Structure 1
Amino acid sequence: MHGVKRTKISPEAAEAKRLKELTKIQAYTALEEDVLARKNAGDYSPEALAQTTALLDLNPEFYSVWNYRRHILSRGLIPASAPEDVVALLTADLRLTMAYMKVHPKVYWIWTHRKWCLENVPPGPGATSGWREEFWRTELAVVDKILSVDARNFHAWSYRRYVVGSLPPGSARTPADELKYTTKKIEANFSNFSAWHYRTKLLGAEWAALEADKVAAQKDKEFELVTQALWTDPGDQSGWLYHRWLVGTAPSPDVLAREVANIRELNEAEPDSKWCMNALAHNLLLLAGLSSEAEAASLRTEAKALLERLEVIDEDRKERYRELASKQ
């Protein structure tokens, strides 16, 4: 690092370091060979499970070892265990995945294994409240905690949708509950793309079952929310993507004219914001498609000028802008 004095390492120390690293590599290789040999031999013993734990401690992205671990559980240990022992086995694996997620929160295979564990919890004693229900209720609290640490972890948001959809009836979350949750996360950080994306899933499903006038009223509220985000940070892509989705759900001349006017105002305040210009050009072209011939020509001319400006300030996408402008 700059400003840090380099310390010269003696040949003896360098050799000792090399040998230490070599020992680690040899130990890892031996462990990997042992686990894969057990896998090929169909070893589903407790010893095999322990070896997969040791290997995953070193490399939690080793997906075939996760697959083997599930085979050890499903083909060996779970069939030979009493229900309460199965609960203990799966609880241990849930703790294991949680420990890994703290260090590797975006490794897909860890999340996949956690899902598998939850799906294999036995029903348990009691007709209405057993182990399975308790595990799912606990899991929602777990994902809440994960998102409180990293509110933009898209793996965690995807996992939340999965958990919410799997909750038992007594613990079910309504779309309104989840919308409030996303609002809280968005208002804390408007650049939370994953929260905006989750919101599209919730509203898309809800609006499909509502009458048109109720949908229109809800959309107006959504435009108010996203407009706050756009004015707060016009350089952030998250709000603009949500805005484009919202416009695209049912573009009408009135809504488009209103949004074009709003974005024009923002563009005047932030003349070099590429996302603002991009959105303005996009909405101008949508409005042109719903306007009279004379109005459409004027709107397309304005959009073309914006696209030509974008070629200059956003060179990485200049060919895309050039192609769009050539069509106007």
Structure 2
Amino acid sequence: MHGVKRQSNQTRDDLKRKEQSKIEKYLKLSEAVLSRRKAKDWSQDAFNLTTTLLQFNPEFYTIWNYRRIILANGIFANSPPALINDVLSDDLAMTMSALKAHPKVYWIWNHRRWCLENLPNGPGQEGDADFLGWKQNSWDKELVIVELMLSADPRNFHAWDYRRFILASMPIAREEEDKLELQFTYKKITANFSNFSAWHQRSKTLRKLWEANNLNEAKSRAEELENAREAFFTDPDDQSVWIYHRWLVGTDPSKELLEREIASIQELVKEEPDKKWCLESIVHYKLLLLRNYGRELDAKVLSEECRVLLRCLQTLDPARRRRYEDLELDL
């Protein structure tokens, strides 16, 4: 092929030898670490070997577990809080380096959680300014780090899940934390309507605020419905906003709300008649009308409207044809 250098036989043989040497080294190291684990070796030397092995393979969850056992049973035994803090800070740095290359490996995120959960309190007595000071400082840094990671990949659900963990577990909660989170998710959503994780985080934050009576529920729900409409009118093919819209409607599916949202989507259908999510959402909301308000409406007409839409969906979305057929049979 033009422009592509061919590898010589010598080069290929050298690459194979290097790869084979790497495999042999990895297998030998794995055997050594697992032998130490079996012997309940909680030494610093064993800990260092886990570092090397995890650099080879960060998905080796057994070794992450062994590493934590070494810390808990060996290195941390009779150690002062300052030393424990330093060791855990080093582990947070180590896992940060690993996440740059492997941002979606669950076991790395899991180890970071464990490190944060095991940070010691500072010196002094409970209630003193320093008692939670250095611990809180580490958690605050984690929040900044995860925001940077979500800037690099706004849809990394591991990072979003980790963010929820941090916000829920911080030793000292941020003032106006949930309202700040609404601002954060809004920023991510307006940058990309397809960010399902941001919509999901927003739904959890809103529910928390509503349950605590820290936000006007009726006013904020109306604003959220308008945000969702703007999103699906902009990109009717994106499922993230439709799922969020269904959650939002489902929090208070009054007859008036269902009819209003159906009418709104039908306006979109006039412009985009072949959009699957538009038609499927209309069916979903009409079925809710039938289920909850069938005695107040013309159930026969509603059922027939659903049948027509479901038949259209069988053509537009043949992969889910059986599902639409089953829905039609239930009418």
Shared fold per TM-score greater than 0.5: yes
> For residue 111 of structure 1, what is the aligned residue in structure 2?
109
User: Post-superposition shift, 1:214?
Assistant: 4.0
| Matches for 1:49-60 after TM superposition, within 5 Å | 49-60=47-58
User: Post-superposition shift, 1:169?
Assistant: 3.0
> For residue 159 of structure 2, what is the aligned residue in structure 1?
156
User: Which of residues 169, 186, 196 is equivalent to 2:199?
Assistant: 196
User: Post-superposition shift, 1:311?
Assistant: 0.8
> For residue 217 of structure 1, what is the aligned residue in structure 2?
219
Unaligned runs of 5+ in 2: none
Whether the 8 Å CA contact 2:194–2:239 is kept in 1: the answer is yes
> For residue 259 of structure 2, what is the aligned residue in structure 1?
257
User: Which of residues 22, 25, 30 is equivalent to 1:24?
Assistant: 22
Q: Which amino acid aligns with 2:205?
A: L
**C-alpha separation between the residues in 1 aligned to 2:15 and 2:117?**
45
The Cα offsets for residues 251-270 of structure 1, whole Å up to 9 and x where unpaired, read as 11100000000011111111
Secondary structure class of the residue paired with 2:298: helix
User: Post-superposition shift, 1:171?
Assistant: 3.5
**C-alpha separation between the residues in 2 aligned to 1:18 and 1:231?**
54
The Cα offsets for residues 28-50 of structure 1, whole Å up to 9 and x where unpaired, read as 10011011111111111111111
The Cα offsets for residues 92-120 of structure 1, whole Å up to 9 and x where unpaired, read as 10001111111111111111110111111
**C-alpha separation between the residues in 2 aligned to 1:28 and 1:96?**
19
**C-alpha separation between the residues in 1 aligned to 2:44 and 2:194?**
46
Unaligned runs of 5+ in 1: none
Whether the 8 Å CA contact 2:136–2:172 is kept in 1: the answer is no
> For residue 95 of structure 1, what is the aligned residue in structure 2?
93
**Identity between Structure 1 and Structure 2 (%):** 46
Q: Which amino acid aligns with 1:140?
A: L
Change in 2 beyond 3 A, CA 1:319/1:170 = closer
> For residue 297 of structure 1, what is the aligned residue in structure 2?
300
> For residue 236 of structure 2, what is the aligned residue in structure 1?
234
> For residue 244 of structure 1, what is the aligned residue in structure 2?
246
The Cα offsets for residues 220-245 of structure 1, whole Å up to 9 and x where unpaired, read as 11101111111111000000000111
**C-alpha separation between the residues in 1 aligned to 2:148 and 2:204?**
22
Are positions 1:85 and 2:87 aligned together?
no
Secondary structure class of the residue paired with 1:31: helix
Change in 2 beyond 3 A, CA 1:224/1:272 = same
In angstroms, what is the RMSD of aligned CA positions? 1.9
Q: Which amino acid aligns with 2:24?
A: Q
User: Post-superposition shift, 1:80?
Assistant: 4.1
Q: Which amino acid aligns with 2:224?
A: E
User: Post-superposition shift, 1:292?
Assistant: 4.1
User: Post-superposition shift, 1:322?
Assistant: 0.9
Q: Which amino acid aligns with 2:178?
A: P
Secondary structure class of the residue paired with 2:14: helix
Change in 2 beyond 3 A, CA 1:44/1:262 = same
Q: Which amino acid aligns with 1:167?
A: M
> For residue 129 of structure 2, what is the aligned residue in structure 1?
128
Whether the 8 Å CA contact 1:288–1:297 is kept in 2: the answer is no
User: Post-superposition shift, 1:294?
Assistant: 5.7
Alignment length (residue pairs): 325
The Cα offsets for residues 114-134 of structure 1, whole Å up to 9 and x where unpaired, read as 011111111113522332121
The Cα offsets for residues 72-94 of structure 1, whole Å up to 9 and x where unpaired, read as 11111011433222111111100
Which segment drifts farther, 265-274 or 169-178? 169-178
**C-alpha separation between the residues in 1 aligned to 2:258 and 2:112?**
44
Q: Which amino acid aligns with 1:215?
A: E
